[in-house]
Amino acid sequence: MAGKLLANVREAIRLRTAMLQVEAVVKMPEPGFNVATIAAKRRNKSNPWFKRGTLFRSAVDVLRRSAVPMTAREIAETLIAGKAPEASRKQSKDLQAAILAALRKRDGAMVVGVGGGRLGLRSLLSCNRACQQPGRQP
């Protein structure tokens, strides 16, 4: 525990020194610049159910198990059913949006829109259609 504390103190000193050096470099061209006006970068909140890169694979698994095309909402509800912590309304909407974005990104390559209109139904391409596309391996 004492080793971690000492390492953290050293890291804090290193960061403080680096910040002072950046401030000195920024003030070289404009000496009156106020460095305090620079906003800190906002960090993205991670998804409590899916690690980075696993959401699309999980959505594809749900589509594989399904006999009919599904909307992003149905896929999201299937994925978070029974998972803890329970999803709030905002988290549910964000998850649906992430699934829809991932499916649209791969539209025509692995996933295809079905039915047209505003339904937003998605289905997997069959292996025959996916493998016949140029550059695809069977």
Q: Which among 54, 130, 66, 59 has a CA at the least distance from the CA of 100?
A: 59
Q: Tell me if 111 sits within 8 A of 80, measured CB to CB.
A: no
Q: Any bridge partners for residue 107, and if so which?
A: 111
Q: 95-110: per-residue pLDDT in tens? A: 889 888 888 887 777 7
Q: In the predicted model, is pLDDT for residue 112 greater than 60?
A: yes
How far apart, in whole angstroms, are the C-alpha atoms of residue 49 and residue 87? 9
Instruction: Give the up-direction half-sphere exposure of residue 104: CA atoms within 13 A in the CB hemisphere.
Output: 9
Fold annotation for 55-132: Arc Repressor Mutant, subunit A (1.10.10)
How far apart, in whole angstroms, are the C-alpha atoms of residue 55 and residue 86? 17
Q: In the predicted model, is pLDDT for residue 124 greater than 80?
A: no
The mean pLDDT value of the chain amounts to 80
Please give the single-letter amino acid code of residue 131. Answer: C
Max mean pLDDT among 11-20, 57-66, 70-79, 83-92 falls in 11-20
Phi, psi of 71 (to 5 degrees): -85, 170
Domain map (residue ranges) of the chain: 2-37, 55-132
Bond preceding residue 85 cis, omega within 30 of 0:
yes
Q: Report pTM.
A: 0.56
* E strand residue ranges, 1-138: 111-114, 121-124
How far apart, in whole angstroms, are the C-alpha atoms of residue 122 and residue 25? 52
Tokens of 10: 């050293």
